[in-house]
Amino acid sequence: MKVDTGIIGVVVIIGVLMVGCPTYSVWQQNKAGEAELARAEQNRQIAIQEAKAKEESAKSLANAEVIRAEGIAKANKIIGDSLNNVSDQSNSV
């Protein structure tokens, strides 16, 4: 009885596919999981950098408000002092 080499080849290919497909599927899922983890880590790093930028911006805005308030306080003192001087001058007349 002569066995056809084509049939043996098909049986071997089917056997390889039966073993290889599940292994490939597991490998593919593993790689997809690694890619998803890398994306999540990158998104986390982006969120951290954005938060740091917002913090820096808030600190700069707060410092600007302090400087502005100091300027207003000085201006108010100058106005108050000048009003006191005018009041003192009118009282002495």
pLDDT in tens, 77-92: 999 988 887 666 666 6
**Per-residue DSSP letter, 44:** H
Nearest Cα to 62, choosing from 51, 54, 50? Answer: 54
pLDDT at 55 over 70: yes
CA distance 48 to 18: 46
For the whole model, what pTM was predicted?
Answer: 0.56
SS3 (DSSP) at 15: helix
**Per-residue DSSP letter, 93:** -
With b for 16 or more beta-carbon neighbours within 10 A and e for fewer, the 22-35 pattern comes to: eeeeeeeeeeeeee
